[in-house]
Amino acid sequence: MAKQVTVLIRRPPLTSEKTAEALRVAVGYTLAGGQRVTACFVGDGVHAAGPLRPGLVGAPDLEKHLVGLKALGQRLVADAAAVRERPGLTLRPEVEALEPEE
């Protein structure tokens, strides 16, 4: 039976390598025993769920990890409240916005 793993992405993607590393780990979980992975973007991490060009500022590329997770059938979700708090932020089409439960 496959385990469900949730990887929280909470750091801004352009100021450190932690976001790219977390996404790389998420891809790794899918390859280790076929685990189901959800990448959950919260707080400043929701910026990683938007259309970025990190190479312009020398930040790690996230595209291969996001595309890889989706191609492997994994779930990408973002905290809808965090997205609303950041005017002008749009999510990539493969990322679903979830409202927090009360």
Predicted structure pTM score: 0.88
Exposed, middle or buried: residue 75 (CB in 10 Å: 0-12, 13-18, 19+)? middle
What are the residue ranges in the chain where pLDDT is below 70? 1, 53-59, 102
Range of the domain at 84: 4-98
Report pLDDT digits (tens) over 59-86: 677 888 898 999 999 999 999 999 999 9
CATH number at residue 88: 3.40.1260.10
| Farthest-apart Cα atoms in the chain, separation | 42
**How many domains does one find in the chain?**
1
